[in-house]
Amino acid sequence: MKPPGRPVREKFSFKPTWPKRRGEPPPLGAAAQPRGFSGIRLSVGDDLEAVAEFFAALPPKSGAAGAERLSVLALSGGGAGGAFGAGALVGLTRTGARPAFDMVTGVSTGALIAPFAFVGSDWDHRLTDAYTGGHVAGVLGLAGVRPGQALYPSDRLTALVTRYVDAAMLEAIATAHAEGRRLFVATANLDAQTTSIWDMGAIATQGGPHALALFADVLVASASLPGIFPPTMIQVEWGGQTFEEMHVDGGAISPLFVVPEPMILKRAQHWKVSAVDVYALVNTTLHPYPRTTPVGALPVLVRSFELMLRSSYRSALRAVAAFCEINGFELKTASVPSDFGGMSMLRFDRSIMSRMYDKGVALAEAGELWGPPP
């Protein structure tokens, strides 16, 4: 396989993800899958036994190169705060302290980082360009707002994803998947109101334009914050019929995950190793940022939304901490420093994102990135 070169623009086309009229979703409880694929995702519902059985078949076999200790990286959402997570990974590379992660999970902007974290340090230049090269600011800046079904048209986020995700990346992911490593991305199925966890390595293994298109669709869906980006429509089949599911930002249900929610308070008996290191990289600030809120519908709405998001991230991190405590796993966490607490994580400004990227690099290089849960 050729080493990754410059990011390439997409060489395949996508159908519009927001049609004027949509197809019907599959019946409740139907085990629907995208056409040509099987066993590539878990729909997290109330059936704990089914969830445990499906998920148990997916995690790593015995760790990288047969090691007895697994390294798991969980990447959260956070919008522009993903620049911090990107910098943190690059900083770990520079110090030689970056694990070869056996399992990587991602949600929202964390889903966009996850493939790079999974394939390794050789792809750091592409990850850096994605968050500091100005492409995000150019496409998602205020000048790009086109109010309609959402603030930005459906092709904006797709253009960013397909700029950096190509056949070479899918080949690298498929190779790692064959070695027993796993890459998972979460989306929110808005019709069923459940989390879908996608096995991205299984998708990559199939190869070809169809797999590349689905891979990109899942990333776009996971990062499609409702109201900011339109939902992603994914066609699925069940019982010989075609249906259409509406997927949005995975953070709408699960802003950070290591295992599906029904398994949080269960023992991870499927990991047959002596120890597990869990790294939770949170791409937003977790500490309150007190300030006077102006009287008005919009300021109150924005501040309330920020409070709700921060609370959901802290709750998700506590759930991960509980899972690790139950199983005796070591948990290390990192989050965007409080220095950036007054900045909107939806402001895709190149200079601010570069500052967050540099902060992530600096903390990693200084050995000050990871700590206990806040």
Percent of the chain with pLDDT over 90: 50
| pLDDT of 84 | 96
d(CA 121, CA 127): 9
Q: Which of 131, 149, 7 is nearest to 140 (CA)?
A: 131
Per-residue pLDDT of 100-109, as tens digits, reads: 999 999 999 9
Ramachandran category for residue 197: left, alpha or beta (phi over 0 → left; psi -120 to 50 → alpha): beta
pLDDT at site 275: 85
Average pLDDT score over the chain: 85
**Which single residue is written with the structure tokens 């190779």?**
175
pLDDT score at 14: 40
Q: Per-residue pLDDT tens for 236-275?
A: 999 889 999 999 999 888 899 998 887 887 777 767 677 8
pTM of the model as a whole: 0.88
Residue 274 is predicted with a pLDDT of: 72
Distance of CA 42 to CAs 50, 55, 130, 168, Å? 9, 8, 29, 26
Looking at residue 133, the DSSP 8-state letter turns out to be S
- Kindly report, residue by residue over 332-357, the tens digit of the pLDDT: 999 999 888 777 777 788 888 999 99
Q: Read off the pLDDT of residues 11-53 as tens digits, 9 standing for 90 and up.
A: 444 444 445 577 899 988 788 899 899 889 888 765 677 676 6
In tens, the pLDDT along 280-307 reads 999 998 887 788 888 888 778 777 777 8
Answer whether residue 9 shows pLDDT above 70. no
DSSP state of 130: H
What is the rounded CA–CA span in Å between residue 43 and residue 50? 10
**pLDDT higher than 90, residue 150:** no
Q: Please choose, from the candidates 230, 247, 244, the residue with its C-alpha nearest in 3D space to the C-alpha of residue 188.
A: 247
From 102, 115, 107, select the one nearest 161 (Cα to Cα).
115
Name the β-bridge partners of 64: none
